[in-house]
């Protein structure tokens, strides 16, 4: 078989001139992909938004960036389009996924990038803190709290694998009842049952502003009708939420304490005599 590769080694061979990129083509491959992934960046940045105001500012910025990216792209490519196509794209600017889909169909014959943006925007709509906040209510919060780590409590400092629901189950004699009430943005969850054959209750307060948790703390412990306070309350909280945790060090504080008392549970080290 004659491969005829003389043209590759000839000194007279001239490399074909690469077709120059059309105006706006760089935006198609780079800028538009940047616009497409902005919703993912928004979900990531939610980790640093700690209240509804910063959350609202974040998602407003996300929407502005998406729209601005599409508008800037339209201004760049519209001179290379027919008047009819340019007008069609102009009308789609308020709907970024439709704009990118139609724009890519016109220029590349495929519009999958618009579909990707649509999917990511839907994920951001259903996954953002405001939408998740709508699902926080008196019926759902107690179950969410039972599966939360003890380290989520503001009374607790340190490291632990303990789970709130498991610790409550271990502390009450034969299970417990749960009652949740709400006042404004504050939820009060009361767990009641018997401990050491005496009536007992544990109250946890949760503040959620509709976007993020502002605080979560074990507020009160009542045993045999007596509401514990001071050292008794502190010791009861330790007994309930730390229990027999044998992993490293843990600590709890109460509102009445100015300092943190550490509980060292690692018994492998001893003081020198």
DSSP string, 218-232: EEEEEETTEEP-HHH
- Residue 1 class from Cβ within 10 Å (0-12 exposed, 13-18 middle, 19+ buried)? exposed
- Residue 80 pLDDT: 87
Domain spans of the chain, in order of start: 21-134, 141-257
Confidence of residue 242 (pLDDT cuts 50, 70, 90): confident
261 or 73, which is more confident? 73
pLDDT tens digits, 180-238: 999 999 999 999 999 999 999 999 999 999 999 999 999 999 999 999 998 899 889 98
CA distance 99 to 78: 13
Is 136 within 8 Å of 130 (Cβ atoms)?
no
Q: Which residues contact 262 (CB under 8 A, 6 or more apart)?
A: 158, 249, 250, 251
> How far is it, in rounded angstroms, from Cα 192 to Cα 176?
5
Q: Which of 28-42, 49-63, 213-227 has the lowest mean pLDDT?
A: 28-42
Look up residue 187 and give its two tokens.
């939820």
């Amino acid at each position: 078989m004659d491969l005829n590769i003389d043209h590759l080694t000839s000194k007279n061979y001239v490399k074909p001139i690469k077709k120059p990129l059309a105006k706006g083509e760089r935006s198609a491959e780079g800028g538009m992909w940047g616009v497409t992934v902005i919703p993912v960046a928004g979900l990531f940045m939610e980790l640093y938004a700690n209240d509804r105001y910063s959350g609202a500012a974040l998602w407003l910025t996300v929407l502005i960036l998406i729209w601005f990216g599409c508008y800037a792209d339209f201004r760049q490519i519209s001179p290379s389009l027919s008047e009819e196509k340019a007008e069609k794209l102009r009308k789609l600017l308020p709907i970024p996924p439709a704009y990118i889909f139609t724009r890519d169909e016109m220029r590349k014959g495929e519009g999958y990038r618009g579909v990707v943006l649509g999917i990511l925007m839907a994920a951001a709509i259903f996954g953002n803190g405001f939408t998740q906040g709508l699902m926080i209510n008196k019926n759902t919060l107690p179950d969410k709290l039972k599966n939360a780590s003890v380290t989520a409590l503001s009374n607790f400092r340190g490291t632990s694998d303990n789970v709130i629901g498991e610790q409550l189950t271990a502390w009450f004699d034969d299970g417990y009842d749960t009652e949740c009430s709400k006042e404004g943005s504050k939820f009060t969850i009361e767990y009641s049952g018997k401990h050491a054959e005496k009536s007992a209750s544990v109250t946890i307060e949760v503040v959620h502003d509709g976007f993020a948790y502002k605080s979560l703390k074990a507020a009160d412990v009542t045993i045999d009708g007596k509401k514990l306070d001071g050292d008794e309350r502190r010791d009861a909280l330790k007994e309930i939420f730390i229990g027999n945790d044998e992993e490293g060090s843990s600590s709890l504080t109460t509102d009445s304490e100015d300092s943190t008392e550490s509980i060292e549970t690692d018994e492998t080290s001893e003081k020198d005599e």
